Amino acid sequence: MKNFFSYFFASILGTIVALFVLGGILVLIGISSMAQFSESEAIQAKSVLKLDLDEYIPEQTNNISLSSFDFSTQNVVGIHDLITLIKLAKNDSQIEGIYITATQTNAGMVKLNELRDAIIDFKTSGKFVVAYAKYYTQGAYYLASAADEVYLNPLGLVDFRGFSGSVAFYKNMLDKIGVKVEVFYAGDFKGATEPYRLTELSPENRSQLQEYLNHLYNLYLEDVSASRNISVDSLRAISDRFDGGNANTALSSNLIDSLLYNDQVEHIIKQKIGLAVDDKLELVDIEKYQTANPKSTDYKIKDVVAVVYAEGSIIDGQEENGIISDEPYVELAKKLEHDDKVKAVVLRVNSPGGSAMASENIWRAFKQVKAAGKPIVISMGDYAASGGYYIAAAGDKIFAEDNTLTGSIGVFRIIPNLKELMNDKIGITYDTVKTGNFSAFLNPYFDISSQERQWMQNSTEQMYQIFLSRVAEARNMPIEKVHEIAQGRIWTATRAKSLGLVDEIGNLEAAIKAAATLAHLDDNNYRTREFPSVKEPFQQLIDDIFNVEDTQAKAIRAELGDFYTHYEMWKTLKNMTNAQARLPLRSKSTSS
């Protein structure tokens, strides 16, 4: 009875504390929202749109798993809403220009290229674009180079030194702790398994990664060359000398226009819009500008082109922001199939792949939408590879962007064997009794038998053949031809187009127009609607408070710091006994 009352009163106390915490959060949110509402009733004359893009930019607004909540931020603006707002600012008489203050960017080259194009288009209005930073990473400089004037702090630098990609290999570490990894894969280029079976890149994987980085870097240099009026050869020389590493040599190399402090740059902006030195400069951040310009929908237009964002790794299971979970996407596809207003679907894929089973389920669901007579057009983002390409095979037409990484058509499985770790390192032994040859199959504490090994390899190759057949059907190719260009190999968008894996090089807007054309819709007689529905940051925060598992993950992330990526890799390893269709490289390059 004593224990009962202890637990009872502890439970009541916990509930009261939770309610107080929740109440405090609601008060803070209310105060913040009221402040933001009063600030954003209208954009004042002679305002300047400020782009501070250091945070992650998702494809779809708020489609991100937030590790923390910022009470001053109502939304995490997605790339396509961001571009729409820049287009709006182009013709907004209250906005005089754009001020880019990004020191680093957390976005891939496709998103940066789209954003850069929007800034260049903004300049055609005659309005100015000015960039300033204490320092520029390569991604931030790529964006800033589109400005009319690029300024740098006198003690700053431009991290202009070429692209690289690094892969962590775990084989030696696993050998030392007594973990054997059984790897099964189909295709010479399925590099996602290499960290567990090799100590360095294979020649095949090195070759394809080098080709991809070279392609990205060439496009990067060509764009910077056009904006800064510096030849590509000169830019390569500047990069090889790392002239950007010093503010003065960055200036003499023409990477920037002048060395100034922040207040001096703001003074220049004031002069551009006719303000006195002591006048207040109205800088409008993108979140405030979005709040002041909410989306409007003309519901009189009945016909809809659905834009479905599929961003993140592909997993089995329930919905989670920033992840492609098969169950909610299958359910969404069913709704689109039976919604009479939806005449066509654009599936925006930005994924390195993941679970082959989940990829198959999503592929089939959207194939059924197509079977219902609704065209499906695929729009590829930074990458639509492996499982990402699998679900893209549901489309009637595939668009990729210049910087898109695609292909990686292959399958693998990984089984960790902990026998040596448990027996020799820790001192725990296991024994078993079983009723059949496969009764203890996939038990990590026993060696895999030759019969089990053969079964796994056969199963992996069978899944690979299914993957090939999906692509062959979608691209109207003989399966032998698909195999030649598959085998886990990654391709640039231009190579993928020449090989028949992609139809057109174009952005999301081009894909939407193509979908409307396939559905025989006139330009002014349809509207777009975005899916899936995404929780706002406040709702995510409330869910996180009561999500013990998510709280534990955040605690582990905070404790491990930079080593958290290795912890994630270990968790991934544990879950790879099922067939995987994943990209071989997701390391962070120096392009950001």
571 versus 196: the higher-pLDDT residue is 196
Region 139-151 average pLDDT: 98
Region 509-533 average pLDDT: 94
The pLDDT value recorded for residue 567 is 56
- Check pLDDT > 70 for residue 37: no
The pLDDT value recorded for residue 13 is 44
For the chain, how far is it from start to end, CA to CA, in angstroms?
Answer: 60
- 386: annotated active-site residue: yes
User: Are both 125 and 147 inside the same structural domain?
Assistant: yes
Which residue in 190, 270, 288, 497 is the catalytic one? 190
- Check pLDDT > 60 for residue 124: yes
Estimate the share of the chain in helix, then strand, then coil, as percent rounded to the nearest 5: 45, 15, 35
Alpha carbon distance 181, 414 (integer Å): 7
- Tell me, yes or no, whether 16 lies in a domain: no
Of 63-67, 362-366, 588-592, the poorest mean pLDDT is in 588-592
The pLDDT value recorded for residue 484 is 95
| Residues contacting residue 20 through CB under 8 Å, at least 6 positions apart | none
Torsion over CA: 581, 585, 586, 592 (sign)? negative
- Check pLDDT > 80 for residue 96: yes
Listed in sequence order, the DSSP H helices in 339-487 are 356-371, 387-392, 419-420, 450-475, 479-485
**Identity of the amino acid at 100:** I
**Identity of the amino acid at 414:** I
User: Are both 432 and 309 inside the same structural domain?
Assistant: yes
- 190: annotated active-site residue: yes
| Residues contacting residue 391 through CB under 8 Å, at least 6 positions apart | 310, 314, 324, 347, 349, 351, 359, 362, 363, 366
What would the DSSP string read from start to end of 132-167?
EES-B-HHHHHHHTTSSEEEE-TT--B--S------
Alpha carbon distance 592, 589 (integer Å): 7
The pLDDT value recorded for residue 189 is 75
| Band (54; pLDDT cuts 50, 70, 90) | confident
- Tell me, yes or no, whether 227 lies in a domain: no
User: Are both 327 and 444 inside the same structural domain?
Assistant: yes
- Check pLDDT > 90 for residue 191: no
Q: Is 298 helix (H, G, I), strand (E, B) or coil?
A: coil
User: Are both 283 and 339 inside the same structural domain?
Assistant: no
- Tell me, yes or no, whether 14 lies in a domain: no
Shortest CA distance to 267 belongs to which of 136, 132, 146, 156?
132
The pLDDT value recorded for residue 317 is 86
Q: Angle at CA 76, nearest 5°, toward 28 and 321?
A: 100
- Tell me, yes or no, whether 2 lies in a domain: no
41 DSSP 8-state letter: S
- Check pLDDT > 50 for residue 15: no
User: Are both 335 and 398 inside the same structural domain?
Assistant: yes
Report phi then psi at 445, rounded to 5. -100, 5
- Tell me, yes or no, whether 247 lies in a domain: yes
User: Are both 259 and 315 inside the same structural domain?
Assistant: no
The pLDDT value recorded for residue 321 is 75
- Check pLDDT > 60 for residue 31: no
pLDDT digits over 442-469, tens only?
Answer: 888 999 999 999 999 999 999 999 999 9
Region 527-549 average pLDDT: 67
- Check pLDDT > 50 for residue 5: no
Distance, C-alpha 547 to centroid of its chain: 24
Q: What is the largest CA-CA distance in the chain?
A: 88
Global pTM? 0.84
What would the DSSP string read from start to end of 180-220?
EEEEEEESTT-GGGHHHH-SS--HHHHHHHHHHHHHHHHHH
pLDDT digits over 212-230, tens only?
Answer: 999 999 999 999 999 999 9
User: Are both 339 and 468 inside the same structural domain?
Assistant: yes
> 167 and 194 in contact (C-beta within 8 Å)?
yes
User: Are both 402 and 538 inside the same structural domain?
Assistant: yes
CATH label of the domain that carries residue 95: 3.90.226.10
- Check pLDDT > 70 for residue 106: yes
State which of 292, 318, 353 marks the end of a domain.
292
Average pLDDT, the chain: 86
The pLDDT value recorded for residue 241 is 97
Which residues partner with 185 through β-bridges?
Answer: 412
pLDDT digits over 321-355, tens only?
Answer: 788 999 999 999 999 999 999 999 999 999 999 99
- Check pLDDT > 70 for residue 416: yes
> 306 and 507 in contact (C-beta within 8 Å)?
no
Which residue in 145, 313, 386, 408 is the catalytic one? 386
Alpha carbon distance 333, 32 (integer Å): 37
Distance, C-alpha 199 to centroid of its chain: 28
Residue 79 Cα distances to 57, 58, 131, 216, 587, angstroms: 6, 6, 19, 20, 22
Region 374-383 average pLDDT: 97
- Tell me, yes or no, whether 193 lies in a domain: no
- Tell me, yes or no, whether 355 lies in a domain: yes
Q: What is the Cβ-side half-sphere exposure of residue 69, based on CA atoms within 13 angstroms?
A: 17
Q: Domains in the chain: how many in total?
A: 2
Residue 107 Cα distances to 111, 303, 353, angstroms: 6, 33, 18
- Tell me, yes or no, whether 234 lies in a domain: no
Q: Which domain holds residue 259?
A: 43-161+242-292
User: Are both 375 and 477 inside the same structural domain?
Assistant: yes
State which of 292, 322, 357 marks the end of a domain.
292
Of 264-268, 338-342, 425-429, the poorest mean pLDDT is in 425-429
The pLDDT value recorded for residue 74 is 61
pLDDT digits over 268-287, tens only?
Answer: 999 999 999 999 999 999 99
pLDDT digits over 552-581, tens only?
Answer: 555 555 555 555 555 555 555 555 556 666
pLDDT digits over 296-308, tens only?
Answer: 778 789 999 999 9
Alpha carbon distance 2, 8 (integer Å): 10
- Check pLDDT > 70 for residue 264: yes
User: Are both 281 and 429 inside the same structural domain?
Assistant: no
- Check pLDDT > 70 for residue 430: yes
User: Are both 253 and 331 inside the same structural domain?
Assistant: no
> 104 and 159 in contact (C-beta within 8 Å)?
no
User: In the numeric block, which tokens belong to residue 520?
Assistant: 């025989």
The pLDDT value recorded for residue 14 is 46
247 versus 76: the higher-pLDDT residue is 247
> 112 and 143 in contact (C-beta within 8 Å)?
yes
The pLDDT value recorded for residue 583 is 65
Total H helices, total E strands in the chain: 22, 20
- Check pLDDT > 50 for residue 21: no
Which residues partner with 136 through β-bridges?
Answer: 158
User: Are both 257 and 365 inside the same structural domain?
Assistant: no
